[in-house]
Chain A
């Protein structure tokens, strides 16, 4: 029993997209621009030379926030979306009816339709692959060359993520919606 979360030292991101590739490879995600569990948002450089706004050129890796109060789980009519014993928000594809309510309810655009099963898919912190094999890292974290991602048990005070969240300032996305995300952006 754990309560998994992820901290993102996003200012270290170099937009190499290795995480997106590793996620697709590890979890067998279909090719195609709208078939992705994780992504890197890119801010273009704003302004005109020589007055360029370098702070606008940032990379924001993101994905499902694994909310403690997940709107997608709340709206699911068949309980296909559920939070597992490790606090990971997952989809039971046998129960998913593809009503798409979760896709509309998710404030983070973290869900998409897997064309093979015609059910809704999302990041599950590699629960069916790496975690199931007993590993303790996710594919995106493992492959990141600048170590942007820190994955671990939020309930374990000695875990790296707990340590980082204690010592560094951080924020969550759309926290005002009360979703209680378990993804933290380190500032």
Chain B
């Protein structure tokens, strides 16, 4: 098989990997459920993409007043999780915390497969992706945060794919070097994505240094939750000792980061409300009164923090279930952040505009936006399944 030999020369794939091995999973109820879930998500994505190709932005519920919607949130969710996973992957190889060495390869893979759905989503959000590729190079807008973010994420993908390839080949020296490059590029890329909002002088609720820092912090939180979910599924909640040690350590890091996140949120709220500054205080009051914000704080911050605090990070089963709820809440959190930045209307003398007085801007995603943002998760799960079958993701004896 020539193709197989060719691929093997680049990265070693498992001997028994074949289409047959992909379809030959044990037909347990859980496996069958996951199979249908992935297929369902992929069908959703295909339908969403078909609608996008036929109708473009007309298939979305974005408006003049609310031009960014669920797809931007979905993109932030996936690339943020990827950044978090990239940072966690570097804990072992780059920062020398030896308990994290054995998860390096798998976590790098997870960083790749969460980045790709993010890219799929953003390509459907950009109205003219081909024009983007041409003019990003021909006439780069170097004062634009979007240009830097896109360019940096291109670098990130290159770094982490090469890092993963070298790790698979057992070339740890180059894997570490590329891992450092990937880490720096990834942190730069995701904080730059935060700056896309932070630079908006027109939006007092988003403008300022908070969002890039908050993005970096919540990226690791999101990545850690993703790790608990994946390792929980992989080991069916019966964690081997080595994995248990790593996850308990990760839980402690997560606990600390959650505490910092809550601290951040607290001061963001107080400083926004204090002084009753127009367009900031009233927006913040509306944010804290919204159910989605309360759910986000409860499920993505308070509950996992309490579990970690009470169990000292050892309640891994509880953390697994809490992680699934937390990831859904982080998806909400990203959506909230994008919506909150836009919900204050730009009054601009439009006291009544075409007989409609400006009020708080409402936005509800269209079915197509939901299909693409949620369906992209199917790509993530499918790639993980294929990679699990194709590559040896557990660390060799090198460490």
User: A residues bordering B, Cβ < 8 Å?
Assistant: 33-34, 39, 41-44, 60, 62, 71, 74-80, 94-101, 103-109, 111-113, 115, 118-119, 173, 177-179
**When chains A and B are docked, how far (Å) is the Cα of A100 from the Cα of B342?**
12
Q: Judging by beta carbons under 8 Å apart, are A103 and B128 in contact? A: no
Taking CB atoms and an 8 Å cut-off, the chain B residues in 67-93 that contact chain A are 67-68
Q: Judging by beta carbons under 8 Å apart, are B141 and A78 in contact? A: yes
**When chains A and B are docked, how far (Å) is the Cα of A99 from the Cα of B62?**
12
Q: Judging by beta carbons under 8 Å apart, are A41 and B146 in contact? A: no
Q: Does B131 contact A (CB under 8 A)?
A: yes
**When chains A and B are docked, how far (Å) is the Cα of A103 from the Cα of B145?**
14
The residues of A that contact B141 with a CB separation of less than 8 Å are 75-79
Q: List 4 extra interface pairs beyond A78-B136, A95-B135, A104-B202, CB under 8 A.
A: A78-B139, A79-B135, A94-B131, A97-B132
Residue on A with the closest CB to B128? A97
Q: Does B35 contact A (CB under 8 A)?
A: no
The residues of B that contact A44 with a CB separation of less than 8 Å are 351-352
Q: Judging by beta carbons under 8 Å apart, are A42 and B351 in contact? A: yes
The residues of B that contact A95 with a CB separation of less than 8 Å are 131, 135, 139
**When chains A and B are docked, how far (Å) is the Cα of A27 from the Cα of B154?**
39
Would you give 14 A-B contacts (Cβ < 8 Å), ordered by A?
A39-B350, A41-B349, A44-B351, A78-B136, A80-B135, A95-B135, A96-B127, A96-B128, A97-B126, A99-B132, A108-B348, A109-B348, A118-B56, A177-B202
Q: Judging by beta carbons under 8 Å apart, are B128 and A118 in contact? A: yes
How many pairs of residues, A versus B, come closer than 8 Å at their CB atoms? 135
The residues of B that contact A100 with a CB separation of less than 8 Å are 62, 67-68, 127
Q: Judging by beta carbons under 8 Å apart, are B140 and A173 in contact? A: no
Q: Judging by beta carbons under 8 Å apart, are B353 and A104 in contact? A: no
* Given contact pairs A43-B351, A79-B140, A177-B201, A97 touches B64 in the complex (Cβ within 8 A): no
Q: How far is the CB of B342 from chain A (nearest CB, A)?
A: 7
The residues of A that contact B8 with a CB separation of less than 8 Å are none
The residues of A that contact B139 with a CB separation of less than 8 Å are 78-80, 95
B63, B128, B143, B202: the one contacting A106 at CB < 8 Å is B202
The interface centre, meaning the residue of A34, A75, A177, A179 with most chain B CB atoms within 10 A of its CB, is: A75
The residues of B that contact A71 with a CB separation of less than 8 Å are 200-202
Q: Judging by beta carbons under 8 Å apart, are A118 and B127 in contact? A: yes
Q: Does B286 contact A (CB under 8 A)?
A: no
Q: Judging by beta carbons under 8 Å apart, are A98 and B349 in contact? A: no
The residues of A that contact B68 with a CB separation of less than 8 Å are 100, 104
The interface centre, meaning the residue of A109, A118, A119 with most chain B CB atoms within 10 A of its CB, is: A109
Q: Judging by beta carbons under 8 Å apart, are B150 and A77 in contact? A: yes
* Given contact pairs A98-B126, A99-B132, A75 touches B349 in the complex (Cβ within 8 A): no
Q: Judging by beta carbons under 8 Å apart, are A99 and B126 in contact? A: yes
Q: Judging by beta carbons under 8 Å apart, are B67 and A103 in contact? A: yes
Q: Judging by beta carbons under 8 Å apart, are B131 and A99 in contact? A: no
4 closest Cβ contacts across the A-B interface? A98-B127, A41-B349, A107-B202, A60-B349
**When chains A and B are docked, how far (Å) is the Cα of A101 from the Cα of B147?**
11
Q: Does B14 contact A (CB under 8 A)?
A: no
